[in-house]
Amino acid sequence: MNDLESLARTPRLLVALDFDGTLSPLVDEPMSARMIPEARQALDALVALPDTDVALVSGRTLADLRVISEHSDDSLFHLAGSHGAETWHPGTQAEDDDAADRADRVLLDELVAEAQRIVAGIDGAWVEPKAFGLGLHTRLAQPDAAEQAQREIDALMQERAPRWRRRTGRDILEFAFRHEGKDQAVAALRERLGATAVLFAGDDVTDEDALRSLGDGDLGVHVGGGDSAASVSVEDPAALAALLTRLAQLRARRG
């Protein structure tokens, strides 16, 4: 645990975390996701410490992230939704760093309607409108149905919006006209808060950008199986919660 002990001694610590599959188990109904109690306790312990900031960094829209994280206006947790295109900081209003282009909004509405029509007859597949794009969910679909849905949505987006950013994740295919990534979200938080070291944890493909962006003195944690750029891997959200609890204990004793 030498890396964790070094991290605990940094002058200003940022703990930035994905939500789904990281602080919460993956669930079939996305809006039913909730942080496990052990993770909540660990984050509350961390954010109560001096010179320690906690941020949730998610592909979810900011509005949905606030719901699933049970986030209130008096929370001390920073939020970065839509892969960092939407942000909220304690004591401030939600921020959309750049006004969305009207043409992109109009096109988005058209694409969501067309994508929903395409998957209407594919069992287990559904399309979620997002703040700056759309997501195809296939968690409940059989493999052949999921492949069909992905193929047809890919074809639609290649034809109508070839320059939108394409992302894949666990049982989801996303497209967005904003190109922010979690690496940029973490970098912006680091700069805003003056963090001297960052712990970032995530479980999916979209978290790898942030994990690869970490530098000396930072700590990347991958939750679950599979290859990752992270230097530390843990089995599940409960194991991550234990690691964060240990970090809070070490940091409380520093000095």
The string of pLDDT tens digits covering residues 52-83 is 999 999 999 999 999 999 999 999 999 999 99
Burial of 72 (0-12, 13-18, 19+ CB in 10 A): exposed
The CATH code that applies to domain 2-97+180-252 is 3.40.50.1000
DSSP per position, 121-153: TSTT-EEEEETTEEEEE-TTS-HHHHHHHHHHH
Question: Structurally, what CATH architecture does the domain formed by 102-176 represent?
Answer: 2-Layer Sandwich (3.30)
pLDDT tens-digit readout, 226-253: 899 999 999 999 999 999 999 999 999 9
* Confidence (pTM): 0.84
Distance (Å) of CA 184 to CA 11, 70, 83, 155, 167: 22, 25, 9, 28, 15
Q: What is the pLDDT of residue 230?
A: 96
Does 90 have pLDDT greater than 80? yes
Largest CA distance in the chain: 61
Domain ranges of the chain: 2-97+180-252, 102-176
Q: Which of 32, 57, 68, 6 is nearest to 187 (CA)?
A: 57
